[in-house]
Structures are given as C-alpha cells and as structure tokens.
Structure 1
Amino acid sequence: MTTAEIARRTGLSQPTVWRLCYTLIESGFLVRAPAGAGLRIGAPALTLGYAAARGLDAPALAMPYMQRILERTGGSTTLSLRQGSEMVAVEQLNGDFVVRDQPVGWRAPIDTVSAGLAVLAALPPAAREAGIAAIDHPDAARRERHRARIEAAVEALARDGAVRLGQILDGRYTAVAVPLFETGTEPATQWALTCGGLAASWTAEDLDRAAAVLVETRALLAPAFAALAG
C-alpha cells in the first residue's frame, strides 16, 4: 500500500502517516515493495504469524533487506543456502562490481566462502564437527588450514557477530557474512547473508560498515526465518 492509501484508510493526515511509516521502515517493520510503488510488512512482523498468512518464501522476505544492504554499503549482497558441504547462492544483488562466472545458483565448498564459514560457526559444536567431517579434502595440510579458518570464524562470530574472509577468488574479493539463524542452533534450512567488494578498493572501514549492517539485518531476519522454517 502507498502512504496515501494508508492515510485514506486510517483517517490520518498524509504527513503523519509518512512520519510513522518512516520510523517503521528504519526499524525494519515496513519495507518498500519490489516495484517501489508502496510499502509492505517487513520481517519482524513474521514472528506474529505473517509468514503463515502471506506465504512468503525466504528469498522474497530477504530481498528488500538485501537492497538496503546494497544501498548502505555499495557491496554485492548474496543470500545463500547450505546444501550438504556446499553453499548455493539463491539471490544476488551486484554492487559496484560484478563477479564474473558467479551468477545466481553458483556453488562453493562450505569452508571456502564467508557464508559457509558463518553457517559452520553458528552451529552447535557437534553439528559443526559433523559438517567439517563431511568436507572431502584429500590434502591433510589443506584440511588443517581450513579447520583453523573455521575455528577463527567461530571466534569472530562470537566476538563481532559476523565472519570475514579476504581470500576469495585468488584474493581479489573480500567479504563479510552472517548466519540467518540463532547461534548454537541447527535449523533444517541454514541460510546466510554475505556482503563484499573488491579487495583492492574495500578498506577495513568498508568491511566494518558492512559487518555492522549485516549484524543489524540478522537481528531483523533471523526470527522471521525461524518462523518460516516452523
């Protein structure tokens, strides 16, 4: 609905409606519709049963928040889902660059991308160990390097609420990711959000800003994703 429609139905003035809606947009309870012509209910309302009422799927739910991440950071934003020992990109918005050969649907080993590390870091210890055991690395030295990377991700998620990785695509790409479920749980579907940019142009401050935005977005989306899964 547009603010004019809301004003007409509520009997409030349009400026009053806009001020109220602006506050709700900033807090995540309202989001702009994909076509940009109006507003719709945001993720936090899903914990009140909106998911069941409207039947939104995870990508449709996440897309307005991914757009906000893109607008606030300029970085490419990806929603990905764990499938076994891989992460699969389900939705993607390109920022100030396009990663070649990485369209929606790309797959990557779970321990090689920030989204996968964020998922593993958020799992209970036993589930994380099972996930690590399922990763097939014939090279023992590589297994140890990747285990160290996963352990660092666990520490980073506990400390910062997000996981960073600067060694993607031969070191050309740097990214930060958050899991979209509560740390210490093991939901049936394990989603993650990633935001990143070119390592040559993204500073530490850029990563800090992206991490803060992702942590804020996780707080809004994680309960709603749990409602969808339930």
Structure 2
Amino acid sequence: MKIPSTIKKSEPPKDIVLQSEDSNPILRITLQDNTNHELEPYMKSIYFSESAYQDYYTFRALYLTGNQFFIISKLVKTAGDCIEKLLKLFLLSYNPNIDVKNFSHSLNKLRETCEGIDNYYQNPILKTFCNEYSQKIKGVNGHQIFGYSDTSVINRIEVDWLKILNLLDETYLETLIRMNNYEGLNSSDIFAIYLNRGTAISRYKEIFNDVRNIFFSKNEYIDDFYRKNKKIIEKHTIPL
C-alpha cells in the first residue's frame, strides 16, 4: 500500500555525499537530504520501529552469550535505547505530530507521558529502570558509563540480567499491541517470526531459525502473551 506524503510539495531525497570511489571499500555510506521528509509522521514511526527492533534483537543476542563483559557498556545501554524508541513509537501512534526530540534521551519523561495514555507504563519495574538509567546516562564529569565503558566512576553496581531481559521482552510486546489502531503489530517482524509466517521465512531465508532462536530462547513472556492476544495478533500481522 502506498502511503501518501503528509507534507505538501514533498520532493524525493537527493544523494549528497558519496564517501569513496574505491571498487572495494571497507565502508561506503551514501547520505541523502531528507529535509522534506523528516517531519512526516510515518517516516518517524518507521525509523523508531526498525531501530527498536534492531536494538531488541541486539540485546537478546548479547544476553544469550552469557558474557558479563557486556553488562554495562552494551546490555544496559542497548536495553535503554530500545525502551526509549519503543516509548517514542507509542507516543507517535497517538500523536503523529509530537516532537519527540524534546524528550531527548530521558526515559523518565517519556514513560511519564506514556503513562498519561496507558496505565501499563506505571509498571514499577519499568519505572525503576527508567529512573536509574535517566539519572546515570550523563555519567560523572564527562565520564560516561553507557556505551563508552568508563567504569572508573562506578563505585558499586547491581544488575539483574534476567529482570532486564524480562522487562524488555514484556515492554517490547506490550508496546506493539498497545499502539493506537494496533499499528505496532504490522511494524515489526516479531509476530510473523513467532508464527512461522511465510513472509518472515522468505525474508530471513537460511538464517530464519537463528533469528527465531535469538528472539524466543529464554523468552518467558511470548507464549502467554500470544495466547491472551491471539485473535488480535493474527488479524493485524502480515498474512501468510
């Protein structure tokens, strides 16, 4: 289905930078001018949906390695990134014109705003994670503990891997189904993968089983969630 532009006189994006002319570069990125597109609601929703999906997959892949080396630098940071994008995606589904940039990376502000729409976001575990993450994201005196692995400013840390995994599994699924008009059910491959839909098998081809294992190994939430919401999920996900 073609989605019409929400901006008048919208023009196709133009390539503005090509980094390398080598025939076999190590990295080549083509950038484009998206001035006429960045404010279009459906474009923002697509970005946050795809990015949250990738963060969710990355978190589970790292978690399943069982390597505690990743715990602060990547696991907590990736979980925070994923939750941030899910909350922004949820808000955009109810108000496509909201400027989510105003929230910056404050999970607290995002969660509180979502709570005004759906009381699911009163979840005390989600509240605790968002509060602690929001307070520590800037680190101390320029020393950032998320992403940059600067542990020199950490005096003590307590992290429950399993609680964060369960929180992310729950928040991801609950946010998708709570979006306005069930928009989230078609914005992610997660349910098509769970249901072994042909569309997902065709997309991931030979790595389909690996992808499925990463999403659903040690996932204590998915089976009950599906049973409780089976009719809605099957009606609004991509068909066979």
**For this structure pair, what is the TM-score category when the shorter chain's length is used for normalisation?**
under 0.3
TM-score, normalized by length of structure 2? 0.23
- Give the number of the structure whose residues are more often strand, by fraction: 1
- Give the number of the structure whose residues are more often helix, by fraction: 2
TM-score, normalized by length of structure 1? 0.24
Higher relative contact order (CA 8 A, sep 6+): 1
